[in-house]
A and B are shown apart, each in its own frame.
Chain A
């Protein structure tokens, strides 16, 4: 079993997919180590789904090649399919029949007997909180339930590699949190997960390594920390005990750190770029000398949103971020 697992779950070299005149994927290289979560991050239409489809043998690449645990996706598609589970952006389950019937059909297709498929199906439905809805037609499920059923269907054979295409897009924050727990659980069990997302915090939370993909190309790759530090320095955040002293504090920062800080008026929070951590001591002493008491001091690293903006030269898709915000409001 795990002893036979190759070190590399995914190796892709120069993958290309062209739709008409649109180079949806334009030379993507990926290296995903076994047992890790790999995040593919990018806005709508960046080529994430197309990349996954090629890796999962659903689409034939127009150029380049890819291997899953050493097996070529074009040359040995049947072998590759025995090693992967795919959960798409849109639930790939049968709407007309019930949850358990879906599981039985998929289980049978994966080589289980009717009885074993039913048992496995029940177990997974239970694990995903769908036991009560097991006998209802999937057409009557909510979006979150469908997504969970979809993921449950991908886990019947316990595949060593799982593709999750935007697993939380359109889910409410609570269900998203549950989905994250499931993904962490999968990795704890030894699975390798390749996950696409347009949510930067999601990649940050889950992925060991991240590829930022934009217009069909990988524009940056590394751990979340590497990506963030590639963008720049951390920021020092100060909250004053007395907001009336904000203007004085800004002057002090300017003098000591040699940079201009910004302040949010309502919370009296001051943010200053922090180049040399050593100078912070000087700043804090200077503030004490001037009699400016602090309520809070913290250091924040740049968010992946800032990373994305810096790397691609444009912000993440407007529609996507708007959707994100609405969901948070709905919570």
Chain B
């Protein structure tokens, strides 16, 4: 088995670069995204949440709360579908963090660290591929909504709504990536993330109108960043309105990514 190796002498690279350039960084990130895609194909269980949640939560909330909150199921859907989408992608973004932790526990990350590759690529690649999961969840929830009577009136703006929610989930996944890199087990990531996200999704304008809340809670719900995202999606999808909440959400998303992406990469490199 050594025959072929003898005929191929060691190569001392003609040029040695001291740093990774932006083009290489992009190429490495895309390669890592390709790797994540290969893994996604081989691990169907990673699709379970994004395939089941749209059906489960849409039906459950629509028929359970529709009558009580909005008078009828159909009247509840314009408010509900954006909320279900946001709740879904936020939870799916947590899975990104837990999977990163599990992935890092396998030996292959030792090899990535020993390769002359961009340090950000293993994280950025994984996060990039997970936007596919967010997209599937978003589109599927919208379809389920339309199936049971949602008629979004925003026209083409619904595409913008989808993109906005995917971008926000991607930004948010940097938080979980940081948690994933620093936490000891995938279970820890899951536990801490749920502790943060459960109150954040429910103490918002997602499922009930904020007017019905006590004063102190209404303030919390209205300041909740997820409320801004949900409002932005509702306005875009239902009315085609490009409101202030879209701006706030974009600002928030960019801000989160700007803070947490460098932190996550730094934590990853410290481990490296």
Contacts and interface: CB of A to CB of B under 8 A. Distances in A.
A189 B4 contact: no
A159 B12 CA distance: 7
B19 to A, nearest CB: 6
Nearest to B16: A79
Nearest to B13: A82
A189 B113 contact: no
A131 to B, nearest CB: 11
Given A81-B116, A84-B114, A106-B111, A160 B10 contact: yes
B165 to A, nearest CB: 28
Interface string A73-93: 000101101111110101111
Interface stretch (B30-38, B63-71, B142-150): B30-38
Contacts, number: 142
B42 A137 contact: yes
A188 B8 CA distance: 9
Nearest to B114: A86
A95 interface: yes
Given A105-B31, A127-B5, A110 B12 contact: no
A188 B3 CA distance: 11
Contacts of B116: 78, 81-82, 110
Nearest to A93: B108
A71 B272 CA distance: 19
A182 B18 contact: no
A153 B114 CA distance: 12
A314 B68 CA distance: 79
Contacts of B42: 96-97, 137
A259 interface: no
Contacts of A69: 12
A249 B39 CA distance: 71
A127 B3 contact: yes
B115 A160 contact: no
A109 B28 contact: yes
Given A96-B43, A123-B4, A155-B5, A83 B12 contact: yes
Given A109-B117, A110-B116, A82 B17 contact: yes
A99 B234 CA distance: 46
B117 A191 contact: no
Contacts of B16: 71, 79, 82-83
B139 interface: no
B110 interface: yes
B22 interface: no
B156 interface: no
A190 B133 CA distance: 47
Given A94-B108, A153-B111, A108 B39 contact: no
B1 A2 contact: no
A105 B11 contact: no
Contacts of B215: none
A158 interface: yes
B31 A127 contact: no
B142 to A, nearest CB: 31
A124 B20 CA distance: 27
A205 to B, nearest CB: 15
A329 interface: no
Interface in A146-189: 148, 153, 155, 157-160, 178, 181-182, 184-186, 188-189
A69 B16 CA distance: 12
A181 B107 contact: no
Contacts of A181: 1-2
A103 B106 CA distance: 17
A93 B106 CA distance: 8
A178 B47 CA distance: 41
Interface in B206-254: none
A158 B34 contact: no
Contact of B2 (A111, A126, A185): A185
A331 interface: no
Contacts of A71: 16
A108 B28 CA distance: 8
Nearest to B7: A189
Interface in A102-145: 105-106, 108-111, 123-124, 126-129, 137
Contacts of A129: 1
Contacts of A101: 35, 38
A81 B115 contact: yes
Interface of A: 1-2, 4-5, 56-58, 69, 71, 76, 78-79, 81-86, 88, 90-97, 101, 105-106, 108-111, 123-124, 126-129, 137, 148, 153, 155, 157-160, 178, 181-182, 184-186, 188-192
Given A94-B108, A148-B1, A157-B11, 5 more contacts: A1-B14, A97-B39, A126-B4, A159-B10, A191-B9
15 contacts: A2-B12, A58-B113, A82-B116, A83-B13, A86-B111, A90-B107, A92-B114, A97-B39, A105-B35, A106-B111, A148-B1, A153-B111, A158-B10, A158-B11, A182-B5
